[in-house]
Amino acid sequence: MKTSTAQSPTRKALAVAAAVGVATVGTVLATAGPAQAAAWYCPSNIACFWSNGDAGGAVWTIDTSQGCKNMTTAWNDVASSVRNNANHGYLLRFWVNGNCSGKSYSIRPNQQGNLGNGGGTRYEFPNDAVSSYAVYPPGTWG
């Protein structure tokens, strides 16, 4: 008995359509990565620092508890972008030295940007230099 390896025209058309569909889906999935969908996402009432510019890389979230806080050893001199998402008027301030000393910069509520030489909104604060931070509640800053 002879076996035919040729496909019927209908079967061949379905195989081509399926291959094109898979290639198209693969392209769409490759272009819509999770980093793009989550750009600058920071939970409400919290501020965030990211290890890369434009809110990329690892994220360090801080709450609105008051007082000077030093970055952990893993995050000291790592931050490259920042967002103050504390919607109730909290000011975020950060310093180049521990214990809230040295050069500092403040970010008002609902602001975000890159530190140092990043693109987009850029803050005049050195990249990879945040060592401490503090938050100030509404009414305590001008």
Query: Which of 26, 13, 19, 94 is CA-nearest to residue 60?
Result: 94
Complete domains list, the chain, with CATH: 38-136 (2.60.20.10)
- Mean pLDDT for 110-137 is 88
Q: Give the pLDDT of residue 50.
A: 96
Task: Provide the 10 A C-beta neighbour count for residue 80.
Answer: 22
Q: What is the mean pLDDT of residues 29-57?
A: 73
Phi then psi dihedrals of residue 30, to 5 deg? -70, -25
What are the pLDDT digits (tens) for 63-107?
888 999 999 999 999 999 999 998 778 999 999 999 999 999 999
Structure tokens at 62: 């801080």
Q: Do residues 47 and 82 lie in contact, with contact meaning Cβ atoms separated by under 8 Å?
A: yes
Whole-number pLDDT of residue 120: 72
What is the model's pTM?
A: 0.70
Question: For residue 31, is pLDDT > 70?
Answer: no
